[in-house]
Chains A and B, each alone.
Chain A
Amino acid sequence: MTEPSEPGELTQAGAPSANLTILARTLEQSCVELLRDYGLVARIQGETLFSDPPTSTYAGSVDFSGKEIKGRVLFCASRQVIEETARGAAGMQGEFSAFSDWTCELANQLIGRVKNKLRSYDVQIDVNAPRLLPRSSVNHAEPGVRFSFRCDAGTFSGFLDVLIAPGVVLRERLSDEPLVQEGDLIFL
């Protein structure tokens, strides 16, 4: 993955780097697929680079780090979206009250998708346990990539705040190794 290039700092203003474009598309695809798994069709409302993290009723945050990359992903959604995804989850029908915990699980599944997709670019990251963020504590000091979506249940956002080591260029690699997909069952 490491190749000589101009620095790919993500916090620079101006035209986005190729790295940022790849990461942004990865986040967007992951958000859409995550909601689709719970029966919701996400329509993009806006993409904002270098914006402050969104504030929403519920926000789950997951930190990640790798050899040449580190950052965090946020999944922010309205109460209605959280409730509707729970209705679409196996075994979750009926009365639902675990909004905070389920928000964290959705953030966990979002970073899981991002992580699996980044393996195509030879990027391996370790992720921490998800945590719920109170609205007041969302960090405004580090802008990142934000996608806002609308679905039948309401609005939600995916946010990615990331630093990549200078000189690193993300390139998609061709591999014979089958990528494990969400929902897959493998007997070992």
Chain B
Amino acid sequence: MNAIDFRRVLIVDDSSSVRHQVSKILSQAGFHVLEAVDGVDGAEQIRAQADLALVICDVNMPKLNGLDLLDSVKDELLARGLPVLMLTTEGQPQAILRAKKSGAKAWIVKPFKEHVLVGAVQKLTQYRP
């Protein structure tokens, strides 16, 4: 099993603005952020990047939405103990429950506050500089 880099985070969102937001905030907090532009790209990067400490994932995306992405990599997430934080406008309880069953560990409803995102990421990665 590859060693995890506790600072390495993947953001999966079709909005370049959101990817920029998350990347800037987390970089300033000491994390190294990779980006995926949609669910298909996200699934590929999750499988390819063996040392990820956390995935941050939107729900409503073209090609493959975030919940379907979770289902597609569920076994991979479990085997690696890789946590997922959903970052989305979605607030439907059924969606949250479905994400939880597929391995998501946290859920933030956009728009988000910087300290909320950083605190959640630090807790899930167990990394604090």
Contact = CB atoms under 8 A, between A and B. Distances in A.
A37 B93 contact: no
A121 interface: no
A105 B61 CA distance: 11
A108 B60 contact: yes
B100 interface: yes
A181 B96 contact: no
Interface string A111-151: 11101100100001001110000000000000000000000
Contacts of B20: 91-92, 98
B31 interface: no
Given A98-B16, A188-B96, A129 B114 contact: no
Contacts of B113: 90, 183
Determine the interface band of chain B, counting residues with CB < 8 A from chain A.
35 or more
Contacts of B60: 108, 127-129
Interface residues of A, number: 35
Interface string B8-35: 0000001111101111110000000000
B21 A91 contact: yes
A174 interface: no
B91 A187 contact: no
Given A101-B16, A105-B18, A180-B109, A90 B89 contact: no
B120 A185 contact: yes
B111 A37 contact: yes
Contact of A111 (B89, B96, B120): B89
Given A111-B89, A185-B116, A188-B105, A98 B17 contact: yes
A165 interface: no
19 contacts: A37-B111, A91-B114, A102-B17, A105-B15, A105-B17, A108-B15, A108-B89, A109-B111, A112-B110, A129-B62, A179-B91, A182-B89, A182-B111, A183-B112, A183-B116, A185-B119, A187-B120, A188-B105, A188-B107
